Structure formats: structure tokens, C-alpha cells
Amino acid sequence: MPEPTRPSLDEVNRSVPVPSVYETSFFQKFLAYSGPGALVAIGYMDPGNWLTSLAGGSQYRYQLLAVLVMAILVAMFMQDLAIKLGVVARQDLAQAIAAQVPTPVRITLWLLNEVAMMATDLTGVVGTAIALKLLFGLPLVYGILLTVADVLIVLLFLHFGIRRIEFIVLVAILTVGLIFAIEVWRAQPVPSAIARGLVPSLSLLTNHEKLILSVGIIGATIMPHNLYLHSALAQSRRYDEHDPAQVTEALRFARWDSTVHLIAALIINALLLILGGTLFFGKTGQLSSLQAVYQGLKNSAIVGTLASPLMSWLFALALLITGLISSITSTLSGQIVMEGYIHIRLPLWQRRLLTRFVTLVPIILIGWAVGFNDHTFESLIVYAQVVLSIALPFTLFPLIHLTDQSPLMGNHVNRRAIAVIGYGLTAVITVFNLQLLLSVFS
């Protein structure tokens, strides 16, 4: 098996200088390493997460907040392993897997993950198209075609460095968080009820419908593309990889970056669930449609005196921002998977366009098959979560196995407890996802 001929995301690999381990400014170091976590965090607040969080709030008020917290904690654990692979082994997850499996397995895993990347991209593309329709009345098909432009945006800003993209994504996260904080503040939820929702209850396991929705939240939260993306972006910082102390510090600050931004993602998803639980619980049943939420926010029969066009407009604006940014990061993930598994060699702009068209063409074909029907097309987001749930174990098990190998990880190999926890969590997630599959197709 030949080694990859270029570093992961070679146009940004080792492109950001960071302070030496022998310098003392914590804040300066944190700022230098901060950024990859923001790009990953946006994947934890894409339209698929929106649907599960809003549905959870509208059906069970705040009771599933505990599930969100647990899902993000598991995500932090898995992202930490992806960071470690990138920083210590200087390989992304696709490269590391491809280097250790025979060609038939490598091609099979590439195809499986390519389908998963399409599903990931679908949620961003569909979310963007829906937001454009809500804001400007643009038909879905034109909104989908316009998402090709985000590839050009990536190319433009990468010309000026990955830090530009990281800054834009950080501003996007802060903007979306501010929008939902305003909407939740206007909705005036009950703090004591929110606090009770943060405590797990036995009904999460005994109530079948609540269990299914909980599994959906977990499935929508932990997605394969974030692990591939983080293992590559962790290599964007330029440090002395031959100095063990420097490698250890790079790991420490990359973990800080990841933790801070995943907490931000948790807060935004929690605000969505609280919004759904405050405004729609006991009034409209399950709100599985983003367009239904948009209409509900300006309908006084549903949300009473809080109804206003501004509330709806802010909701659609936040959807547009997260849809655009998440589709950009999924394009990057698609490039990582394609290059890592099959070592494709093309100029940068061709690689980016190929990655986008590989996912966009099937979306157009599916849309054409269903006549770009609003409700049917939006339901594709739900089915995309099912596809991701199928692919997830094929990402998590190799990740834990790779970071458990001393020849690859050296002194940073997983401690025994970490390996046991990792395999245990992956087994539980796999069982949950099988449960989700059975519920969808039963």
C-alpha cells in the first residue's frame, strides 16, 4: 500500500505558526491554536441537528436536554481521539485507515464514506436551499444550484489562509448563538424546568418514542465527517513535531480549542430545544419541518403575543448561515475522504469542484424524482441521518483501533481505560443506531 503523496489538506497543512512550548503566554497560545474546533463545531449544529432538537422540544419540552449533554460529551471524547491522530501521527483518519487495510477493504470503506459525505452535504445543501426559499422566495432547485458557489468561497478564502475561514466560521457561530439567545429570551422559558431537563430520567430508556428521538439526537450529533475533518485540521498548525514537549502542548491546546467550541455547539442546540419546548410544546405536536417552525413563529395562534415576522426572519437567517457553513466544511471533509482513501491527484480547484459535484448531482436527481416537493425534499434530511448512522461504526472503531497502536502513536497511545471506554461507547452508539434504523423502516 503506497503512502499518500501529499499531506492532508496540503494547501493548509502546517500553514499557521504557533508559539513555542518554551513561551509562557497561555492566551496567545490559545488564540494561535483556536480555529479548527470552530469548523468542526458547525457540523454539530447543521439542519439535521435543528430538526431533532426542535422535535425533541416540541414533544417532550426540556426532558431531552440531558441527551444533548451526553451526546456532546461523547462527541468531545471522539473528537479528542481524532485530534490525537492528526497531531501525533500527522495523518488524517482516511490516510491512516487506508495505510493499514488491503485494497478491496480500502475501496469499500471509501465508497461507504463517500455515501456518508453525500448525506452530510445533503443536510447543508437542503438547509441552505430552504433558508433561501423562506427569506427570498427562491425555488428549491435554484437554491441548491447556488450552493456550488460555496466551493468558490472556500477557494477564495483559502488563498488568504485557513485563518480567514476559521474567523468567518467563528463569527457565524456567535451570530447564530446570539439569534437563538434573543429568541429564547423573548420566549421566557422557566429556568427551573430547564434545570430539571438537564437531569437524565429513566423514561429515556423505558419510553419507546422518547428513546427513538434520543437516538436521533445522538445520531445527528456524532457524525463521521467531523472526525475526518478534525484529524486533518489539527495538522494546520506549524510546530516542531520532533520535540515531544511541543507535540504534547499542541495536543493540549487543540483539545482546549475543541472543548470550547463544542460547548458553544451544545449551547446553540440547547437553545433550539428550549425554543421548541417553550413555544411549541403541547400546541402543535411534533414539528419535523423547518418551514413549519418558520411559519409558526409568526402565527399568534401558536406562539401567542411572541409571534412576529422578525422572529421568523431571524430563524431563517440562522438556518442560512449554518447551512452555508456546514456545506463548506462537508466539502472539505469530502476532499479528505477522497484523497485519503484513493489518493486522487488533481489541481485544487478541480478537487474541490469534483468533491462538490459528487454530492450535488445525486441531490439534484433525488429532487427531480420527487418534483422538488417541499415536504418530501426536507424529509431527506431525516433519511440522511439514517445513512450517517450506518457509516458511523465504520469510522469510530478504526479511530479507536488506530489511536490504540503504539507504533503509530508512541507515548500518546490510548491508555487502557480510554480504549475500553471508546470501544464501549462505540458499541452502545452502534446499538442505538441499529434501533434508529429499525424504527425508520419498521
Q: Which helix (H) or strand (E) holds 203?
A: helix 203-206
Angstrom distance (rounded) from CA 343 to CA 345:
6
Please say if the pLDDT value at position 351 is more than 90: no
Angstrom distance (rounded) from CA 203 to CA 320:
35
**Cell numbers found for residue 165:** 475561514
Q: Name beta bridge partners: 17.
A: 238
Within 13 Å, how many C-alpha atoms sit on residue 280's CB side? 28
54, 226 contact by CB (below 8 A): no
217, 71 contact by CB (below 8 A): yes
Please give the pLDDT value at position 220: 65
Closest to 41 measured CA to CA, from 253, 275, 222, 215: 222
Q: Ramachandran region of residue 61, left (φ > 0), alpha (ψ -120 to 50) or beta?
A: left
DSSP state of 223: -
pTM over 0.85: yes
Closest to 166 measured CA to CA, from 32, 346, 319: 32
Average pLDDT score over the chain: 86
Most confident of the following: 91-105, 122-136, 343-357, 375-389: 91-105
| CA 222 to each of CA 6, 34, 219, 395: distance values in angstroms, whole numbers, following the listed order | 28, 21, 6, 11
- How much is the average pLDDT of 320-325? 88
Please say if the pLDDT value at position 210 is more than 70: yes
Chain position carrying cell 436551499: 129
**Cell numbers found for residue 418:** 480510554
Please say if the pLDDT value at position 204 is more than 80: no
Angstrom distance (rounded) from CA 400 to CA 142:
41
Q: What are phi and psi of 137, to 5 degrees?
A: 70, 20
Angstrom distance (rounded) from CA 99 to CA 79:
21
* Among the ranges given (62-76, 199-213, 226-240, 333-347), the one the predictor scored with the smallest mean pLDDT: 199-213
Q: What is the pLDDT of residues 43-70, one digit of tens each?
A: 888 887 887 788 888 888 999 999 899 8
Chain position carrying cell 490504540: 404
DSSP state of 234: G
Please give the pLDDT value at position 2: 44
**Cell numbers found for residue 250:** 499542541
Closest to 217 measured CA to CA, from 82, 73, 336, 332: 73
Angstrom distance (rounded) from CA 125 to CA 323:
6
113, 391 contact by CB (below 8 A): yes
- How much is the average pLDDT of 139-145? 87
Handedness of CA 180, 186, 191, 194 (dihedral sign): negative
* Among the ranges given (56-65, 110-119, 296-305), the one the predictor scored with the smallest mean pLDDT: 296-305
Closest to 426 measured CA to CA, from 387, 403, 395, 385: 395
Please give the pLDDT value at position 287: 59
